[in-house]
Structure 1
Amino acid sequence: LFSPLQDRAVHIWVLGGFYNDLKSDYDRHEYTPGYAQWAGIDRPDNLEYASIVHNKTQERAVYGELTYHIIKGLQITGGFRYFDYDALVTGGTALPLFQTYPGVNYSMNHGTTGANGTIWKANVSYRFNPNIMAYFTYSTGYRVGGANRVAPCQMPMNPNTQHACALPNEMFYEPDKTRNVELGVRGNFFHRRLVFTLAGYNIDWTNVQVPGQTKYGNVSITKNGAAAVSRGFDASVNVRVTPNFTVSATYAYTDAHLTKYSPDLVSNVLGSYPGRPGDRLPGSTKNSGSIIANYTIPLDNGRSLQLNWATTYVGSIYSRVGLEGYGYRMPSYVTHRAALTYNTKQWSLDLFVNNLTNQYAVTAVSNDSSSMRSRDGVTERYYAYSVLTPRTFGLEGRVHF
């Protein structure tokens, strides 16, 4: 793989293949205890709704990369990846309350999708001296599409019964593709007592994958938006204050939003909502950062005691594009972690505390508040938060071989 020629260009190459065969099966039952007896329906198991979904996705790819070291300090890299995938979904739904017990008769449907394409990258980097290196990268990328894990609707739809299924345009989502530009610099000074990185980037996104819901049943799915952009920068620095005391810090800024109008991008039980240019994308925080301090106390016989403190900041996150359709803004939060580590040549023991201040924070949202409907004091469906793990004490040991 190497051809080191004295005083001439050096090249490095990589060639490979990839294959992935992913299968998943889902079987869902919903029960309404006591309802069948109250309504006079012969359904002693109280099974009100059932669905089955079988997904299969096969992905194949070949890739290659070639690097040339043209002159001292200058390096050029080019690469490609050809991908091809197929996805199949088969499934159905059943309403057992309207069927003869004990049978569960599913209305089955299926669909297929697939795509292929080629992505590539070009990179140039230059080391000005042993302490400073700058680089520039232009690349394209993709994220594989596939089938949503929802039973397909049986067409035509029966308006007199309830449904929790995916319409033909909700069964699949396409791959999203990007064009990426990144410019960065890395360096170290004072015999590596100060090490830093700084990089800025711009990502143009097409067919961006975003969370959505089905029209029937309000089931969570993945959908495609029209176009978006994600731009920002990130920085990190590590300072060795003394031989035994180091401090590191990171910061990242991200501005990710739609750039084109996307009709019916967000939907729920109350209707559909468009995505508009400027609407912030879900799942991304604009600001995030961390500060980590580490102090080592040397002991005799190769032993040491290590004190560690980490503070992390996570900015606010949207659950839906532009907060459309009853989206929720998850507030920012700060967490702290402390650890005490005893090291020997053969083993080490950690005593740690995660989320030291017992910070409460929402980290994810299930469905949206439009799905909360109360009838006779009972809330139908659900709307839920996932929250940060509370203060946790732990003891961890490791053995070195």
Structure 2
Amino acid sequence: MDSYENWDFTSFVDGYVNGPAFATWSGYAAYYDITIAPTDVWWHSNQTTTREDTAVFGEIDIKVTDRLSLLLGGRYYEVDRYISYFVEKPLGYPNNFTPDRTAVDDGFIPKVGFQYDVSDNMMVWSVYSEGYRVGGTNRARGTPTLPIEYGQDIIENFEVGLKSTWADDTIQFNATYYEMSWSDMQLELTDPAFSIGEPWQAVVANLGDGTVTGMDLDLKALIGNIQVGFNMTNIFDAYVNPMTEYPDARFEGGVADLGLEAKSNLPLFGDLSYSLYSEYSGPINLFGESTEGFARIQHSYEGESLNQLSDGGNAPRFSQGDYRVTDIVMGFDVGDWKAQLSLNNITDERGISYRDSSDFDPYYGRFSDSVIRPKNYNLSLRRYF
């Protein structure tokens, strides 16, 4: 799979060619025997990126016994990337040419699992698998402490679970326990060089090993025309053991403090989240006629999480989430007509799904919050021809 992107950014100022700035840049260019054509384009930049993904993968199911099955699989991958970037300020005068960069991530990731049928209504299973995220390139602003390029990270995932049905298949219960371990985890944080006069910037770096353990539960039950359901995600641990310092001779002692604790909680992992619902579907007597309809009430809770890994003065760490949403949905069919009414977020919860504390917008302020939709109602009427 191949991808290609090319971006041009151009900024104009009317009359720029007749101003002192153009004259100054023309003088600089003449020193290097470069002649700039008259232009009102004071900035032109271009970035080209290409990516080529190659993979060979497969898996096989082996029936060991009537009840036991074995899964074996694997994937070899190679990701080739190329990026070039340059700035002309003004147009025609090479102001900032960074070297073209190429990078390759490759490797083999296995997958091994088994399934054991305890009975016709119950199955236990387990799987070990690995995954990867390709590396990338940070912005080259000034002289940062952390590397401009970062490499791939690898995750090892182990899961064990249960799938079952009960009471003549009217109850379904599934459970999964998982452990995920990252090696050379890609972490986003504020580069510490801003404290010694370099431009402020958020960067990504391979800084440590991470661990996430948790459990998912899913329950459904059918009682006549009423179905109820509940699912839950409980994160027991989500942390990383990062580097707390990084070599940089410009700092006292030759190392820069990254502002990270030896064991830091990972962001964006809510401690506990769940949802539940109850729905009736079946015949409804409406206006003296028997029609098919449904009514559903659902409630969900989004657990508390951190917005980012590091906690800095210019970009502090905040908590987010910790909100509940309740919806009511009902509808019915009458002949060719279908109607549905949705009452969403009936308690008008203003939950914050994400807090961006690195947003330095000069108009709206330093920080910005992503807020869920407030209370809203929807009514739809449809006729089928």
After TM superposition, the score normalised by the length of structure 2 is 0.76
The residue correspondences of 1:162-201 to structure 2 (distance < 5 A) are 164=141, 170-201=147-178
Q: Which amino acid aligns with 2:371?
A: V
Cα distance change, pair 381–388 in 1 and its aligned pair in 2 (3 A): closer
Q: Which residue number in structure 1 is paired with residue 181 of structure 2?
A: 204
Q: CA deviation at 1:116?
A: 0.5
Tell me the distance in 1 between the aligned counterparts of 2:53 and 2:112: 24
After TM superposition, the score normalised by the length of structure 1 is 0.74
- In the alignment, does 2:57 pair up with 1:63? yes
- What CA RMSD, in Å, does the superposition of the two structures yield over aligned residues? 3.8
Tell me the distance in 1 between the aligned counterparts of 2:22 and 2:143: 29
Deviations 1:248-275 (A, max 9, x none): 111111221013435359xxxxx86243
Runs of 4+ in 1 over 6 A off after TM superposition: 45-50, 344-347, 378-381, 397-401
Q: CA deviation at 1:121?
A: 1.1
Q: Which residue number in structure 1 is paired with residue 27 of structure 2?
A: none
- In the alignment, does 2:280 pair up with 1:295? yes
Higher-Rg member (1/2): 2
Cα distance change, pair 368–30 in 1 and its aligned pair in 2 (3 A): farther
Q: Which residue number in structure 1 is paired with residue 228 of structure 2?
A: 247
Structure 1 window deviating more from structure 2 (53-62 vs 109-118): it is 53-62
Q: CA deviation at 1:392?
A: 3.0
Cα distance change, pair 42–383 in 1 and its aligned pair in 2 (3 A): farther
Tell me the distance in 2 between the aligned counterparts of 1:30 and 1:333: 43
Gaps of 5+ in 1: 1-19, 154-163, 266-270, 373-377
Q: Which residue number in structure 1 is paired with residue 96 of structure 2?
A: 107
SS at match of 1:208: strand
Tell me the distance in 1 between the aligned counterparts of 2:239 and 2:284: 52
Say if 2:242 and 2:262, in contact at 8 Å, map to a contact too: yes
The residue correspondences of 1:1-400 to structure 2 (distance < 5 A) are 20-26=1-7, 51-93=45-87, 96=89, 105-109=94-98, 110-148=100-138, 150=139, 153=140, 164=141, 170-213=147-190, 217-240=199-222, 242-254=223-235, 255-263=237-245, 273-299=258-284, 303-321=291-309, 323=311, 326-343=316-333, 348-368=338-358, 382-395=366-379
Say if 2:242 and 2:264, in contact at 8 Å, map to a contact too: no
Q: CA deviation at 1:311?
A: 1.0
Q: CA deviation at 1:106?
A: 4.3
Say if 1:197 and 1:235, in contact at 8 Å, map to a contact too: yes
Q: CA deviation at 1:327?
A: 1.8
Cα distance change, pair 226–166 in 1 and its aligned pair in 2 (3 A): same
Cα distance change, pair 275–194 in 1 and its aligned pair in 2 (3 A): same
Q: CA deviation at 1:209?
A: 2.2
Tell me the distance in 2 between the aligned counterparts of 1:71 and 1:302: 52
